[in-house]
Structure 1
Amino acid sequence: MPDTPLNRFAAVQKSRSVISSEDADDSELLFPMYTVSLDVLLQMKKVRRHEELLDAGVLIKYRSSLGRAMFISHQWLSDDHPDPDGEQLEVLQAAIGNILTGKSSVHVPVITEMTLGRVPTPTAADLRAQPLHIWYDYFSCPQGGDLMAKSRRQAAIDSIVSYISRCEYFVILCPALAHAQQQSMLGEHTWAERGWCRTERLARELAARGDGFAFVIQSSTHQHLVLNGVRHLDAPGSGQFTVASDRTKIGRVILQMVWKKLLYLLEQGDLHNYRFLLNTQARCCFRNLNTAPIESLVPAFVPRADPCTEPKAFIVEHFLHENGFRTLRERDHAGWTPLCYAAMSGRPGLVEALLECKANCNDKIAKPKLELGFPKHMNVLSLATHFGNIEPLKALLSARASVGARASIRSIALHWACLSDNVEAFRILRAAGSDVRAAMLPGLDSFGVACAGGSCHILQEFIAQEPRVSLRHCLHYALIVDGASKPALATLIEARADINEQLRLTQVPWRMVFAIYGLKHRVSPSGLTTLAYHHHGATPVMGILNHWLLTLLAGIAT
């Protein structure tokens, strides 16, 4: 390991053991972590408020010595009660009961299995291994209207990040149900738009632990795994808040989360993910918040360049110091160079300074980052595009970065603009000569990628600018890759996509993929093999592709 200030700083953090076990410092909890046991949850007839459960003696102050904990993240079904008719509760009880009895299981999404294989999922044995304790906001936080209750409720809210870090299971409860007052259909897509739900998700991703599972409960029989990072572009500050002042409150909470995670990664010696978080925090954590990202964490910076006469050289020196690099061409063990990280950061002038100091505008990552779907040889133009960093994107194009440079899966930067639903980047790349017809494996052009990503704004841009764009298999692509969202589906259906179209793949890569997984289906079935085995002739409304399409269509109609 090279001797850099960052490596020395990491060694100091490791020796101090800055981050201890989840219960080591209960002073982090401003309010006790009240939970109910799984048995109590399964016997409930309705969702009762915290005070009632406390008086009934069924609330437990959770500690890890009592067993495992499960955090329930969900949307309220009315303005003044989370679940007035017990509909969400019924789904939660039935889903957990079905997992415990083997009637259902947490499946791996198709795109996850294609990328990472059959990753582990929580099983009945996992849930039974130790006593299970459930944290649910209405149970666990005071609900009264007096000053004392309000003060305690705020203390509990301020402790939610610590609660999540103590939970081995993070459950997104999002069955398709109507909101009592708004008369809108709620589901996973609307959950993902809520600012507080995004904050809870980010707290899970930044928790100082590497175990446990996060999964979605859509119904009593349909649950699927969610990996950390799947929604990494969903910054909490860009979400919706019922109370506008909450956006200000979460800034300091997220700052604490990022600080602790950075120190934890240093303690673990995980310098790649330390650099990744350090350079994506502005976009993924603090966007639209009045909170500055963490900088100048590594001590002992001694510049050679004069910031007054050589400002760009000074910027480069400081960036290399903070990220533990000695030269612009150096690659870390993950195969990333300084420019790869800088392209994600969005810091004004940074990429321009690196390019002026002879960084390669066509640089690329040498190894894949599978958990985020980043392929081997993904270039810096694609990284800047994916994270929506327009100024770095323009700087790279000015330096003549290639808009047609391909990654190992044949993707170009335009595909990443489509996947991240970034219309501005899409327009800039098209103006620079990027070809919308270019296809990535296993045969998706830019429009197909936008369908697969559920990228509503890009789809609208395509349809407005290219009224004759082919809608062939667009709904299938959206559903196969788990990118379907109500706005995207509504856009495609309004554009007259055929909901009765039969899937008949002609591209050789698609046919090869489905042939291989179709053969596996007879021996070891899974969601992906089922799709591959039965895909030919399937229509979008057939449950084989996505058993939730009908629910989504009902939501669109509403």
Structure 2
Amino acid sequence: MGGSLCCEKPLPPNHVHPCLFPMYLVKVSDFLEMKGTPEPHDILMQKGLLHQWEPGMFTLFVSHQWLGSQHPDPTGQQLGVLRTALRRILEQSLQVEEDLTSIKPAALLDPEQIKRLSKPTLQQIERGYLFIDWFAIPQITARLPGVNEESTRSSAALAVQSIPAYVEAADLFLALVPELLHADTGLICSYSSWLSRGWCRAELWCRLLSNKSDTSIIVIYSTCDAELMFPLVWQRNLIADGLFTVESDRAVVVKLGEAALRGKLETLHIEGPVSHYRFYLACRPRLLGHQPMALDCEDFLRYFHFPSLQEAAEGRSCRDGLTGLLCAVLAGNAHMIRMLAKHRADVNDRLGDLSELGYYETQTVLTAAVKSHQEPPVLETLIELRADLHAQSRSGVGCAFAVRSAEQVQCLLAHRADFQCADVGVATPPLNGVANYADTATVAALLAARCEPDHPRDLDEKG
């Protein structure tokens, strides 16, 4: 298709993310034939390798961290990983499945239930198109000051501002995160550093808060390692806390996240499900880096659309998805936790299936509290109301496994939580979960509490 810049049509307007510049794509088949250092937009345009997005094009959005200050991939290694990984995915020698933590217990017995790329999807990928910023955006810079200021009218600035719309238009989202050295700093760039970048977080948020039926993220770690992202990951990586090359980008990009969340809530309010709507309402202050809202009883019922306090208290998670108690916990509202418990809300209630949001059947309300990064006062309230510190889900996950901060560790230890998991045959060693999903300070707090690094269960599995 190709073409010049004078006659393009942008993507259809979107009430959340406007598209200010056309979305340019490269055919997957053409990309697989490329070699060496990737060429920029203007060269690919001259060669007729760029195609403007049109409805019906199966599109893959590639999110990646730049490996140079003036070029995203000076040696071509990063996109070389993507080429090899795509070939292997299409040949089915590289299987892309959900990560182990996301797999439901039933799927462990029946592998057919494990979420993975389907054969029709593989066929669409083979005939599809890629969005990569270096290819798609004319004269893109390494985020120099002023490139996305509203007053700037350059094509590059408009295209950068349109990235959320490009994410919304894409059918698949790939996070390209191989472990490689940055050409200028010499630092290792990997999944962790990609996830720390503010713009990458914004792309991730726009994908997961879009209104598509499938918002899966494919993480490509290497030429032979790729998986679907654990759904809770994005919720603990706030845009406001991300790293930006240009500090002035922070406020602009935070607004993109706010708009994405607002659009998600507007859609869920109309279309449901009500459980997801209440979930995002409860988590909104934390996701946006704000303090929890101090809602009184009347405001709480109105905010979460409960007809009465009794109904908010009596609903069960397995039936309603998100009860009044779980809303109060996720919102960090200790006052309403007490009020609902006073009206017979069960602090030892078990969650229903909220796996799309990172919470799983039979996990406890207390486990949900620690997974959602609640402060110690919320945990203290549940414990005082006799939440069971040692209750575990069907898969053996308890609140000790799910802690997310050193302060949570100290709070649970003060109430004699078991971080040793003496019952080796049943419990999942807490350090396994903490090492995977918390920060180094939390791991250090567990080790300081003499949590055994080489748990007997781990040794049995190694042996």
Task: Give the aligned partner of residue 443 of structure 1.
Answer: 427
Q: 1:103 to 1:366 in 2, by over 3 A?
A: closer
Task: Give the aligned partner of residue 193 of structure 1.
Answer: 196
Q: 1:182 to 1:115 in 2, by over 3 A?
A: farther
Q: TM-score if structure 1 supplies the norm length?
A: 0.69
Q: 1:188 to 1:412 in 2, by over 3 A?
A: same
Task: Give the aligned partner of residue 443 of structure 2.
Answer: 459
Maintained 8 Å contact 1:116/1:370: no
Q: 1:460 to 1:48 in 2, by over 3 A?
A: same
Report the aligned-residue RMSD. Answer: 3.2
1:216 Cα deviation (Å)? 1.7
Maintained 8 Å contact 1:195/1:237: yes
Deviations 1:471-516 (A, max 9, x none): 3259x96xxxxxxxxxxxxxxxxxxxxxxxxx534xxxxxxxxxxx
Deviations 1:226-250 (A, max 9, x none): 2544443222223322222222112
1:433 Cα deviation (Å)? 2.5
Task: Find 1:122's aligned residue among 117, 136, 150.
Answer: 117
Q: Which amino acid aligns with 1:464?
A: A
Maintained 8 Å contact 1:410/1:439: no
Task: Find 2:288's aligned residue among 286, 289, 292.
Answer: 286
Correspondence 1:138 to 2:134: yes
- Matches of 1:152 and 1:202, distance apart in 2: 24
Q: Which amino acid aligns with 2:289?
A: R
1:442 Cα deviation (Å)? 4.5
Maintained 8 Å contact 1:142/1:150: no
Report the identity percentage.
Answer: 26
Provide the secondary structure at the position in 2 that maps to 1:362: coil
Maintained 8 Å contact 1:352/1:392: no
Aligned length: 431
Q: Which amino acid aligns with 2:259?
A: Q
Q: Which amino acid aligns with 1:504?
A: D
1:84 Cα deviation (Å)? 0.3
- Matches of 1:120 and 1:378, distance apart in 2: 21
Maintained 8 Å contact 1:339/1:359: no
Correspondence 1:471 to 2:453: yes
Correspondence 1:504 to 2:460: yes
Q: Which amino acid aligns with 2:270?
A: E
Task: Find 2:32's aligned residue among 36, 42, 45.
Answer: 42
Deviations 1:253-282 (A, max 9, x none): 111111111122233331111111111122
Task: Give the aligned partner of residue 170 of structure 2.
Answer: 167
Q: Which amino acid aligns with 1:137?
A: D
Q: 1:416 to 1:210 in 2, by over 3 A?
A: same
**Deviates most, 335-344 or 145-154:** 145-154
Task: Find 1:322's aligned residue among 290, 303, 308.
Answer: 303
Task: Give the aligned partner of residue 87 of structure 2.
Answer: 97
Structure-to-structure mapping, 1:461-540, within 5 angstroms: 461-466=445-450, 469-472=451-454, 503-505=459-461, 537=463
1:394 Cα deviation (Å)? 3.5
Deviations 1:94-129 (A, max 9, x none): 211222233333244333345462434225642333
- Matches of 2:333 and 2:258, distance apart in 1: 18
Q: Which amino acid aligns with 1:369?
A: L
- Matches of 1:323 and 1:153, distance apart in 2: 41
Task: Give the aligned partner of residue 56 of structure 1.
Answer: 47
Deviations 1:189-208 (A, max 9, x none): 22222222222111111111
Task: Find 2:366's aligned residue among 356, 364, 381.
Answer: 381
Q: 1:399 to 1:122 in 2, by over 3 A?
A: closer
1:384 Cα deviation (Å)? 2.3
Maintained 8 Å contact 1:168/1:213: no
Task: Find 1:248's aligned residue among 235, 246, 251.
Answer: 251
Maintained 8 Å contact 2:208/2:216: no
Correspondence 1:207 to 2:181: no
Q: 1:315 to 1:454 in 2, by over 3 A?
A: closer
Unaligned runs of 5+ in 2: 1-9, 108-112
- Matches of 1:93 and 1:414, distance apart in 2: 41
Q: 1:195 to 1:162 in 2, by over 3 A?
A: same
1:72 Cα deviation (Å)? 0.3
1:134 Cα deviation (Å)? 0.8
- Matches of 2:157 and 2:320, distance apart in 1: 41
1:366 Cα deviation (Å)? 4.6
Provide the secondary structure at the position in 1 that maps to 2:313: coil
Maintained 8 Å contact 2:313/2:344: yes
Provide the secondary structure at the position in 2 that maps to 1:463: helix
Task: Find 2:380's aligned residue among 394, 411, 418.
Answer: 394
Provide the secondary structure at the position in 2 that maps to 1:336: coil
1:426 Cα deviation (Å)? 1.1
Deviations 1:49-84 (A, max 9, x none): 22332343322221223x200000111111221100
Provide the secondary structure at the position in 1 that maps to 2:235: coil
- Matches of 2:400 and 2:26, distance apart in 1: 48
Task: Find 2:23's aligned residue among 9, 33, 42.
Answer: 33
Q: TM-score if structure 2 supplies the norm length?
A: 0.82
1:177 Cα deviation (Å)? 1.0
Task: Give the aligned partner of residue 225 of structure 1.
Answer: 228
Deviations 1:127-167 (A, max 9, x none): 33373111111111232579898733232222222211111
Unaligned runs of 5+ in 1: 1-21, 296-311, 478-502, 506-535, 538-558
Provide the secondary structure at the position in 2 that maps to 1:414: coil
